Amino acid sequence: MSELLKVIDLKKYFPVRGGLFRRVVANVKAVDGVSFILQKGRTLGLVGESGCGKSTLGRAVLRLHEPTSGQIYLDGEELMSLSRDQLTARRRKMQIIFQDPYASLSPRRTVAQSIQEPLDVHNIGTPRERQKQVEELLDVVGLRKQVLSRYPHEFSGGQRQRIGIARALALNPEFIVADEPVSALDVSVQSQVLNLIARLQREHNISFLFISHDLAVIQHVSDDVGVMYLGQMVEFTSARALYRNPRHPYTRALMSAIPIPDPKKKSRRIILGGDVPSPMHPPSGCPFHTRCPEVMPVCKKVIPPRINVGTDTAPHLINCHLFTEEPVGDRGAASPSDH
Amino acid sequence: MSETKGAPLLSVKNLVVEFNTRHGPVRAVDNISFDVYPNETVGIVGESGCGKTVTGLTLLRLIPMPPGRIVQGSITFQGRDLTRLSEKQMQAMRGADISMIFQEPMTALNPVFTVGNQMIDILRRHKDLSRSQARAVAIDMLDKVGIPAPKKRIDEYPHQLSGGMRQRVMIAMALSCDPKLLVADEPTTALDVTTQAQVMEQIVKLQEEFHMSVILVTHDLGVVAESCDRAIVMYCGNIIETAPIGELFERPHHPYTKGLLESIPRIREEKLAQLPIIPGMVPDLLHLPDGCRFADRCARATERCNREKPLLEAAPGNGVRGVACYHPID
């Protein structure tokens, strides 16, 4: 297995301006030092609550948001040093699917135009070949050819998301960021789209960075999972390990908070007090210490290092003082699925 | 848990609500009947467009008229038919006897008044209280819904509060006049799961403390499973199944309910290769089939289902349950 995407200590700060001269008065630390590896043909799930930085991270990886610092390697090539033109060329390999397909499809373009646009931008094939490819793409995502001349408003949410997926597939990408692709959909349609994404991944060997707030959706699609809180990845391991044995107190609280659709099973809930702190003024030490049920004095002062509580072959990385014995040393990238 | 005995607090009979659209009238709610008894929590569940929100809004006569209108039916609450009250009588009822909380508290709260001002207004409108008395009640209510430092928070504006806090303020407002019925429309959908857990816990606690009935309108069957006594499942403007919570989840009779339950993403011991799905999609409310509205997505459908529409009837061998299906699952 080889790595497709390697992200090291990525940061994205949004400046907050104020005062008479619109000076930068503070920074919103949306993504604050995140490292991970995504293997070829696999899916990394990013999960966390609103404002945790998961969407910003997804966009920063594609340089749709210009990262403040850090390194991003795609297929071994460093993306941060590329010029705009070079980046545009690389974008053929990486695509994004958005949460709201209605907002991401132009209302004035037909389905055919929307799906064909990436082919036009990158100048691929003759007009006739492009048209043929658009028809094939529609077939792949389960839409009929007759819809080609229709406009986005004529479709249901699930169908629009299929169009968004077809567009993302047009350039035959190696890597797709899927940002909450099913969150706007009803459950009965949600599972149709999730099954479609799973099938495409198998058939086209695409790697996904799959962003969702829904732990159940993340479990279904992911090989590895990163749990985010306040701009940091607090736990990172294989999906299997995470769901069998969540270690970070935040992950445990998050898992216990999900309502269980079975009246006989009353979940033993860890109710967290208070709210997520503002990313403009993150707490000192561990970002979770203000709400953590197991907080210790050290958590308020020292940022917990990333440590491996799993094995070398099946790492389970967490940033938490509860497990600090022998810190791994650096906060470099390591992959939980390297086995 | 409540007992469904005695007279119902709320009784909806044959309610039909239509909206005029450019393409003709759309029946958002099509001939539904249900009762809500004192002290019980009833969930109205279904997917977008099934009519659950319109049902909730109609109970308080909050649908915009026009384009909406109540075509027929009655809503009997404490012996009075709400569809026949004047707007003035309805205003006296809202907030005092029936309250509602909404999905997005930021749009339901007035951004230019402090939390306290809005709460005091409601209290003084319905109760004979001085400003300072009303303020004391408001502070007490904020404390009850778990807002820390209520004496300080009461003078803040909605934008100064987090999403979870705003929803708590909404709940405090809705309950401040001690209503008999609370209609909660997707109260936690806009919130994160950890905040949702806090808010739902609060609603369940207050329901017991205030001896009120709650109608919880939601798409989230997980929330229903954890907080309701009974559920009403809607599809395309119809009630297709109603049952006590335990039975609904254990033995759903309607194929749609079963499909819905199966397709909820849930954390499993081992992940599935394929998620169970309901094929196809919800029909367009402008072009509804004559027969069962679920027929073209249903594996059990027969020729009769396409021809005749099944009505909600008591399920075989169980008077508390109802199902609108010719081929219910046992």
**For range B35-49, the mean pLDDT:** 91
The verdict on a CB contact (< 8 Å) between A49 and B201 is no
The verdict on a CB contact (< 8 Å) between A262 and B276 is no
pLDDT tens for A108-117 read 999 999 999 9
pLDDT tens for B229-279 read 999 999 999 999 999 999 999 999 999 999 999 888 888 877 777 888 888
Check residue B117 and give its pLDDT: 92
Rounded CA-CA distance B216/B42 in Å is: 6
A292 at the B interface (CB within 8 A)?
A: no
At residue A325 the predicted structure's pLDDT band, cuts being 50, 70 and 90, is low
How much is the mean pLDDT over chain A? 87
User: What percent of chain A is predicted at pLDDT more than 90?
Assistant: 42
Chain B neighbors of A160, CB-CB under 8 A: none
According to DSSP, the residues that pair with B43 across neighbouring strands are B216, B231
Question: Closest to B197 (Cβ–Cβ): which among A187, A220, A257?
Answer: A257
B222 at the A interface (CB within 8 A)?
A: yes
Which pTM was predicted? 0.84
Residue A239, min C-alpha distance to chain B (Å): 10
Residue B254, min C-alpha distance to chain A (Å): 15
Check residue A71 and give its pLDDT: 94
Rounded CA-CA distance A258/A139 in Å is: 36
At residue B43 the predicted structure's pLDDT band, cuts being 50, 70 and 90, is very high
Residue with tokens 């011991």: B269
A214 at the B interface (CB within 8 A)?
A: yes
Rounded CA-CA distance B34/B17 in Å is: 15
Chain B neighbors of A258, CB-CB under 8 A: 193, 222, 267
ipTM of predicted complex = 0.78
H-only helix segments in chain A: 54-61, 84-90, 101-104, 111-121, 127-140, 157-169, 187-204, 215-221, 239-244, 249-257, 297-301
At residue B2 the predicted structure's pLDDT band, cuts being 50, 70 and 90, is very low
Q: Which residues contact A212 (CB under 8 A, 6 or more apart)?
A: A45, A46, A47, A180, A182, A183, A218
Q: Please, what is the Cα angle at B203 between B197 and B205, to 5 degrees?
A: 100
How much is the mean pLDDT over chain B? 88
- Comparing CA positions, the residue from A195, A197, A186, A225 lying closest to residue A48 is A225
State whether residue A34 is helix, strand or coil.
Answer: strand
